[in-house]
Amino acid sequence: MGRDVSLPLTGSLGPARTLRCDHCREELGLNVHRYWQMHFCSKACVTEYQQRLAYETKVKISQLEASRESSAVA
């Protein structure tokens, strides 16, 4: 059967900690979905997070993505 593998972080400030999904707070396994420096355990969590965003935030993200794409082409 499948087994979840948690990714512990070690730092100079204290004991190891486990990475968790920024939406549901479940431990992250090997398949991590990323969206704007956030980590999610599944595509469903990414989608639910995106649906929860305010309209103004969605507009700003669209502008930033367009800016990033135009600078990548240049």
pLDDT at 18: 86
What are the tens digits of pLDDT across the range 51-63?
Answer: 999 999 989 988 9
How many domains, in total, are found in the chain?
1
pLDDT at 21 (0 to 100): 96
- Any domain includes 2: no
* Residue 1 within a domain: no
Distance CA 58, CA 36 (A): 12
Range of the domain at 56: 8-73
Query: How many beta carbons lie within 10 A of that of residue 27, not counting itself?
Result: 14
Determine, yes or no, domain membership for 3: no
